[in-house]
Structure 1
């Protein structure tokens, strides 16, 4: 039985991991901010010494892009120094580490999907702090999996799917960005991929998104179709949209490494969204 520490277990991906892992195969150490502050080096090191995890999955992060712009020190403390602290524990224990990252490490100016070999050029504090976290992980331990994803949604998160449904419940007209492109990715599919990856020694940086590309407007259309909600939907530029912060306009990631080593296929984004919406209705 391996021991897996999920830091940030109350977030979307932390919850998804707990929903699908087999407790007969994995002993889980769940921590969130109330239990342990990953920015406190001593606290993190002590936890690592006492519990000796085989794998650390860092699901922590300040992901609110507007908050990151307002409070850059807070963003770097959590997104960069937190990742550094967990990496130090991983190195001390000889553990594997999974660092979750984002498409925001790119500038969004490309006309084709970004591969793992494209140069990063973040334009936001969020993207820059996440890239700094990636760099710390690479610096401190070679047994790492850096996973970049985008447009992630799952249980309990303040994500695009849940926000669209909240506004739809109120019967309001929705103005959604028609000029932001990405690949909606289910936290559960991401969690399945993470659990697969930690069973391997295929270390490195990966782009992991559901397959297919859409804009925010098309994403919202599909959410409303599956929910049976009938509200007026308008495609507008990002600056006029209700639910989108200003983000890289072209956030499409190419799962290039997964494809060339023929390791793992991610499902189509529409299938994954349908699965999520069914589960949401049942619960």
Structure 2
């Protein structure tokens, strides 16, 4: 098996490449330095030359607030770029694993979203990722669409790193508590994606660490495990207005993972603990 991973400079792409390498599988990680996702010819030519058996498409425009002002750029990367990747996979008969997001849902209520539930993105980023999903489904049969949320990993910025940085200069922090979802540790997710790549269990999946929390609860757990004496005061989203609306409910059902026989990711508290250990070697916590 030969694997191509887009977005290698990001959190998930970085860990996916490392996971495949650890399994002795030929893998190549690429970024915008190798080709632009918005250049259809460049995408097609690169995949035709490398001829991977599996493509993990982790690259994306992820600046959620900025996307509200850069709708064309966001759609060009996440919608058109994904279409180009899917077309190139079709040309060489490669499997595609497309990384999507909880943001394709409206984020209402308190129930877990099932994979086939009605979509309804509340921001430009969510609409662009949904358009990417639709392109994949339209062009391919050998695809996995994997929706994730609240991502954290060693190779980039994320909420946990931000909280730890703030803890160095603050003893009290206010954190949003009316957005509920599940964190996703990219090292855990990379293991699942590598497992998926070796199968033909195509379809749509939700993959996050087990359990749910609010952002405030996540912050409290990070400080507890890191031994930081910081008081977290829960506040509503209205206390921190953002350009892009965020879904309040990001709970994702893992029923499709279980039905396909894939292992669920460890609980999010366990993932936080292992991530803090991983961070110690690079951030001097």
Bucket of the pairwise TM-score, normalised by the shorter protein: over 0.9
The answer as to whether partners of 2:7 and 2:29 remain within 8 angstroms in 1 is yes
Q: What is the correspondence of 1:96-107 to structure 2 with a 5 Å cutoff?
A: 96-107=95-106
Q: Which runs of 4+ in 1 moved over 6 A?
A: 242-245
**DSSP-derived class of the 2:270 partner:** helix
**DSSP-derived class of the 2:99 partner:** strand
Offset, 1:25? 3.0
For residue 263 of structure 2, what is the aligned residue in structure 1? 264
Gaps of 5+ in 2: none
User: Greater CA deviation, 154-163 or 82-91?
Assistant: 154-163
**DSSP-derived class of the 1:21 partner:** helix
For residue 136 of structure 2, what is the aligned residue in structure 1? 137
Matching of residue 123 in structure 1 with residue 117 in structure 2: no
Give the TM-score, by structure 1 length.
0.95
Offset, 1:231? 2.1
For residue 41 of structure 2, what is the aligned residue in structure 1? 42
The answer as to whether partners of 2:68 and 2:243 remain within 8 angstroms in 1 is no
Q: What is the correspondence of 1:178-189 to structure 2 with a 5 Å cutoff?
A: 178-189=177-188
Matching of residue 18 in structure 1 with residue 34 in structure 2: no
For residue 202 of structure 1, what is the aligned residue in structure 2? 201
The answer as to whether partners of 1:239 and 1:246 remain within 8 angstroms in 2 is no
Query: Quick one: distance in 2 between partners of 1:167 and 1:241?
Result: 16
Offset, 1:16? 1.0
For residue 54 of structure 1, what is the aligned residue in structure 2? 53
Give the TM-score, by structure 2 length.
0.95
Offset from partner CA, 1:52-98 (integer Å, 9 cap, x none): 11111111111121011111001101111111111011101110001
Count the aligned residue pairs. 282
User: Greater CA deviation, 17-26 or 57-66?
Assistant: 17-26
For residue 62 of structure 2, what is the aligned residue in structure 1? 63
The answer as to whether partners of 1:160 and 1:243 remain within 8 angstroms in 2 is no
